[in-house]
Amino acid sequence: MSADASSNHVRSVLPAAAVVELVEAVLAADLPEIVAAGHPVLRRPAQDFDGQLDDDTLNRLIATMRRVMHEAPGVGLAAPQIGIPLRIAVLEDQGVRDPAVAEVRSRTPLPFTVLINPSYEAAGDAVAAFYEGCLSVPGYQAVVERPHRITATYAQPNGRTVTTDFEGWPARIVQHETDHLDGQLYLDRAILRSLTADTEHARWAQPTIDDARRGLGF
């Protein structure tokens, strides 16, 4: 696991006109495709959003990202995942129906949230480990250990900057998507011995990772 996977990459900065042209090209698709691991846009830190898009274009981009996320389906999507190198991500999670699973995973519903230029830091020493998947790495999941509680600072579409505490599963989603904006994939942080194909995931799809730990030896 490398926490510095993107440190050797220089953040490329596109002129505003080029950003607009790229966004409009993506928005012209009926449903933009999610780019897969191996595409350079996923390995370069995204550039800050600082008004390159007017309000209408920004709102259309956010709406499109939300639709792509739902169609996938997923609980988070970063702009680089549809080929746009801007620090924008959308999140939304309805949670799970089984209250026992929800409790052990701290998976509470996360209302639709837009992160613009986000950053986060751990709030306390508690950590949690569980399987994560990624829409840009289809077919696999792996265990990632992350801070259980974080404090995130980000701008909203209206330009207001807020600082919010997240914990449990919502905190995991925020961290996963913010990492995308830093040119990182969850595999950079994963316990690789836990890597599991989706076809095998049902064997380990328990409320905790205890069975997977014993079976895979991590």
39 labeled binding residue: no
The answer to whether 176 is a known ligand-binding residue is: yes
Q: What is the mean pLDDT of residues 64-74?
A: 98
- Alpha-carbon distance of 97 to 28, in angstroms, equals 36
- Amino acid 204: pLDDT: 76
Provide CB contacts within 8 A for 99, sequence distance 6+. none
The fraction of the chain above a pLDDT of 90, given in percent, is 86
The catalytic site residues sit at: 177
To the question of whether residue 148 is assigned a binding role by annotation, the answer is: no
> Residue 120: is its pLDDT beyond 70?
yes
pLDDT at 10 over 60: no
Its CATH architecture, for the domain 16-216, is Alpha-Beta Complex (3.90)
Q: Which of 15-19, 66-70, 96-100, 179-183 has the lowest mean pLDDT?
A: 96-100
Does the CA dihedral 137-142-145-150 come out positive or negative?
positive
- What digits encode the pLDDT tens for the residues 53-65? 999 999 999 999 9
- Collapsing DSSP to helix, strand or coil, 57 comes out as helix
Residue 3: predicted pLDDT: 27
Whole-number average pLDDT of the chain: 93
Q: What are the structural domain ranges in the chain?
A: 16-216
Tell me the pTM. Answer: 0.92
What is the separation of C-alpha 27 from the centre of its chain, rounded to a whole number of angstroms? Answer: 20
